[in-house]
Chains A and B, each alone.
Chain A
Amino acid sequence: MIEVGPAAFMGLAAVLFTLGLYGAVARKSAVMVLMSLELMAVSVNLNVVALSRFVTPTEMTGQVFAIFTMVVSAAEIGLGLALVLAIYRQTRSIELTTMDSLKG
């Protein structure tokens, strides 16, 4: 039986966060960037729940906090997708590289 400790959760979270970070910085599609942002949020949630389970097993603080975060992420993704749709209607494109009308 393999012992699954906090390190394994934190390692997985680090992998997920890094994947999300890369996606957010490097992907061209706005939808992909939003998904990458979600990935980073999920990795954080994973960390929060894992640390809560291992550090304070009797408290439920981490889990509750994770649910809050998921609610906020859902709202955020809704807003983000709405923005993407609006931009798409305007420019027929969701490529972030073309969105530079705020250029200095």
Chain B
Amino acid sequence: MAYVALIPLLPALAFAVLAPLSRAVRNRMRWVGVAGVAGSLALSFAAFAAVWPGGDEGEATYRASASIASVGGVDLALGILLDPVSAVMLIVITVVAVCVQVYSLDYMRHEERIGWYYAVLSLFTAAMLALVLADNFLMLYMSWEVMGLCSYLLIGFWHEREEPRKASQKAFLTTRVGDVGFAIGLAVMYATTGSFAFDVVLGSAAGWAPGVATAVALLLLFGAMGKSAQVPLHVWLPDAMAGPTPASALIHAATMVAAGVYLVARALPIFEASGIALTVTMVIGATTALVGGLLALVQFDLKKVLAYSTISQLGYMFVAIGAGGAVAGMFHLVTHAFFKSLLFLGAGVIIHALHTQDMREMGGLGRRMPWTAATFGAGALALAGIAPFSGFWSKDEILYAVWKGHHYVVFALALAAAFVTAFYVARLWFRVFMGAPRTLAAFAGHADTDHGDEDHGGHDGGHDESAADRRGETRWPMVLLGVITAGIGFSAPFFSEFLGHAGHWPDPMIASVSMGVALAGLGAGWWVYGRRAGAVDTEAIKARFRPAYSALDAKIYFDAAYERLAIRPFIRVTESLAVFDRIVVDGVVNGAAVLWRTATDLSWGFDRRVIDGVVNGTARLSRSAGVALRRLQSGRVQTYQRYVLGALVLLMLLIVVKGA
């Protein structure tokens, strides 16, 4: 079973191979990334089979850990915990990652930095796989941060343009707010138990003081809210759509944003020990589910509709966990990962074909792009919660869990969210695929070719001139995800049993209510957007629902509130700090400089006058002495004789005088 460690290591190795290469070589080496992820996929299936009932592992878990460092007597351990939950996550991540990487081969092939894209995508996959395999919170946190970095890099992939650059910063900083909570939660957890290991922490959670458990649970929840884009930390996810679409499919739909849900599901014993934290989780999830759905209603950007829909569905998962249906939440995570990445891949095809993300410029694509329409349709029906597509099953389990928990208000909110979801799905479908083409690009489709192998060599920038379906690298991942989306729902009872809960088929009452609501939403959507073939008059709708529509249009003022309450005051504080800096700090520094300059001036003067004066004075003295004395040396012998004679006379006089 040691090969389990290879699952995250293979993509990490792919990153390590790609990262140091030159750009040109790296661009040719993108198969390394695909190979790494494909290897992980194969190993993940082997690991899944091993923990499946009847597999090699008797107790359905595999543990291994090794200490990598010791800090102050505390061992830092990297460990692997393979249990049913992580096995399921492994399958989801590797399947979606392989689909996205294969899809990107075609989608990103004209990008100058495609090699770097593959390197970061591999690193991200490695981090996500390490996160679900971690056996302690510290390793989970480290992988969590690496994912945050990769998300930042991929959102800002086109960093020549301003919008992706700003979006990447916003995403990084907003999730950072949540991560601070997560980090503090880890510190409190460590202070309480002296360990980060899952088995130690979660095993003892039931015995913690309720206050401690609540604090830790809420702090972890805060971290999860940042990563999983829950209200009020959801603002980064719609902006994150500025990144490449396949990266959005992998990171901002299927895997990274689900990491928060995974964290809460993992730490469930702490939440259960607290009790109130579960309620908070449920309330936040329900709010997010509804708010995200409502915000999706007014978006015209295809990807932003999907982003808000992701926020809403993640809210659903939090509702499930909060209501005590962690398995239902995990199941929704799985189904959502498949159908939402499918929707994003479809959106990518449409965006490349039409050069726009604005749904008002689309229309009638159903006839032009039947493959895309079929797979996208499967994803859309799953999202709306129509049986038998996967979303129906998982949503039904969530509603069932909420109903059984007697949370009737939340149940109503969840149903409202389901209605809104179905409505915006219908809006999206009729605007994009039905009706008449509204732009030249949407008209000018090639006939759909079954082999899908058109020659794109003549185009630069990776954009096709037609609204036709794309090549096999693009199509087959979507078909695979479409098949999974259509079929995975039937595994619901087995899935529950695998995760250790009693499996059941949908409750007829709940199922019919949920289906009814979804159909009502779709019907309402058809009534507004699909009934008449012509263009929908947005202005009329806007006028009729003026206050509500403008509130939604302004994203319910979340961004404006952050701007006014956090960012602008912060800038004001920094401005006054800058004044302080300029006057006081710079003053001290400049004052010291002036003082020092004066001191050196004085020192220089002393040096010049006194030290140089002594030296030059000595020189001048010896020179003038030399000038005076050279006159004695006339060179004439007789002069010297006279000196000698004079000296002799003096000497004799001296002798005469002395002698007397």
Q: How far is the CB of A32 from chain B (nearest CB, A)?
A: 11
Q: For B631, list chain A residues within 8 Å (CB).
A: 104
Contact of A104 among B629, B638, B641, B642 (CB under 8 A): B629
Query: Do the beta carbons of A25 and B642 come within 8 Å of each other?
Result: yes
Docked-complex contact A99 and B645, CB < 8 angstroms: no
Interface flag for B624 (CB, 8 Å): no
Indicate which residue in A24, A97, A99, A103 contacts B641 across the interface (CB closer than 8 Å): A24
Is B630's CB within 8 Å of the partner chain A?
yes
Within 8 A of B (CB), among A49-104: 96-97, 99-104
Distance, CA A103 to CA B642, complexed state (A): 16
Is residue B632 within 8 Å, beta carbon to beta carbon, of the partner chain?
A: yes
Q: Report yes or no: B634 in contact with A100, Cβ–Cβ below 8 A.
A: yes
Contact A96 B638 (CB under 8 A): yes
What separation, in Å, do the CA atoms of A22 and B636 have in the docked complex? 16
Q: Are B637 and A96 in contact (CB under 8 A)?
A: yes
B-chain residues with CB within 8 Å of residue A96 when the two chains form the complex: 636-638
Residue of A26, A33, A103 contacting most chain B CB atoms (<10 Å): A103
Nearest chain B CB to A103 CB, angstrom units: 3
Number of B residues, CB within 8 Å of A:
13
A99 touches B634 (CB 8 A): no
Query: When the two chains form their complex, are residues B641 and A25 in contact, meaning their CB atoms are under 8 A apart?
Result: yes
- A14 sits at the interface (CB 8 A): no
Which B residues lie within 8 Å of A103 (CB)?
633-636
B residues in contact with A26, CB < 8 Å: 638
Whether a CB of chain B sits under 8 angstroms from the CB of A21 is yes
**What is the CA–CA distance of A102 and B630 in the complex, to the nearest angstrom?**
11
Are A21 and B645 also in contact (CB < 8 A) when A104-B629, A104-B630 are? yes
- Min C-beta distance of B643 to chain A, whole Å: 11
A96 to chain B, nearest CB (A): 6
In the complex, what residues of B have CB within 8 A of residue A33's CB?
637-638
Determine whether the beta carbon of A104 is less than 8 Å from that of B645.
Answer: no
Min distance, Cβ A35 to any Cβ of chain B, angstroms: 14
Residues of A within 8 A of B641 (CB): 24-25
Closest to B631 in A: A104
Given contacts A21-B645, A25-B645, contact A99 B637 (CB under 8 A): yes
Is there contact, CB below 8 Å, between B642 and A99? no
Q: Which of B115-155 contact A (CB under 8 A)?
A: none
| Chain A interface size, under 10 / 10 to 19 / 20 to 34 / 35 or more | 10 to 19
Q: How many A-B residue pairs have CB under 8 A?
A: 35
B637, closest chain A residue (CB): A96
- Chain B residues 593 to 633 lying within 8 A of chain A, measured CB to CB, are 629-633
Pair B642/A100 contact, Cβ less than 8 Å: no
Complex formed: what's the CA distance from A24 to B630 in Å? 24
Give the nearest-CB partner of B626 in chain A: A104
B361 → A minimal CB distance (Å): 106
Contact B642 A102 (CB under 8 A): no
Contacts of B637 in A (CB 8 A): 33, 96, 99
Contact across chains for A100 and B645 when beta carbons are under 8 A apart: no
Across the interface, do A97 and B636 meet the contact criterion of CB distance under 8 Å?
Answer: yes
> With A25-B642, A25-B645 in contact, is A104–B636 under 8 Å at CB?
no
B638 and A102 contact, CB distance less than 8 A: no
Q: Which residue of B lies closest to A21 (CB)?
A: B645
Residue of A nearest to B641 (CB): A25
B645 contacts A102, CB within 8 Å? no
The interface centre, meaning the residue of A99, A101, A104 with most chain B CB atoms within 10 A of its CB, is: A104
Which of B629, B632, B635 has a CB less than 8 Å from the CB of A100? Answer: B635
CB B397 to nearest CB in A, in angstroms, measures 120
Give the residue name and chain of the B residue nearest to A28 (CB).
B638
Question: Which residues of chain A from 10 to 25 have any CB-CB distance to chain B below 8 Å in the complex?
Answer: 21, 24-25
Q: Which residue of B lies closest to A104 (CB)?
A: B633
Measured in the bound complex, the distance between the Cα atoms of B645 and A26 in whole Å is: 12
Q: CA separation between A25 and B637, bound complex, in Å?
A: 9
Which A residues touch B630, using CB under 8 A? 104
Give the docked Cα–Cα distance between A103 and B637 (Å): 10
Residue of B nearest to A100 (CB): B635
CA distance A21 to B632 in the complex (A): 21
Closest to A102 in B: B635
Distance between Cα atoms of A100 and B633 in the complex (Å): 9
> Who on chain A is nearest to B632 by CB?
A104
**Complex Cα–Cα for A25 and B648 (A):** 14
Q: What are the 9 A-B residue pairs with the smallest beta carbon separation, nearest first? A: A104-B633, A103-B635, A100-B635, A104-B630, A102-B635, A100-B636, A25-B641, A96-B638, A103-B634
- Spell out B's residues near A (CB within 8 Å): 629-638, 641-642, 645
Q: Write 27 A-B pairs (CB below 8 A) sorted by A numbering.
A: A21-B645, A24-B638, A24-B641, A25-B641, A25-B645, A26-B638, A33-B637, A96-B636, A96-B638, A97-B636, A97-B638, A99-B636, A99-B637, A100-B634, A100-B636, A102-B633, A102-B635, A103-B633, A103-B634, A103-B635, A103-B636, A104-B629, A104-B630, A104-B631, A104-B632, A104-B634, A104-B635
Known A-B contacts: A96-B638, A104-B635. Give 14 more (CB < 8 A): A24-B638, A24-B641, A25-B638, A25-B645, A26-B638, A96-B637, A97-B636, A99-B636, A100-B634, A102-B633, A103-B635, A104-B630, A104-B633, A104-B634
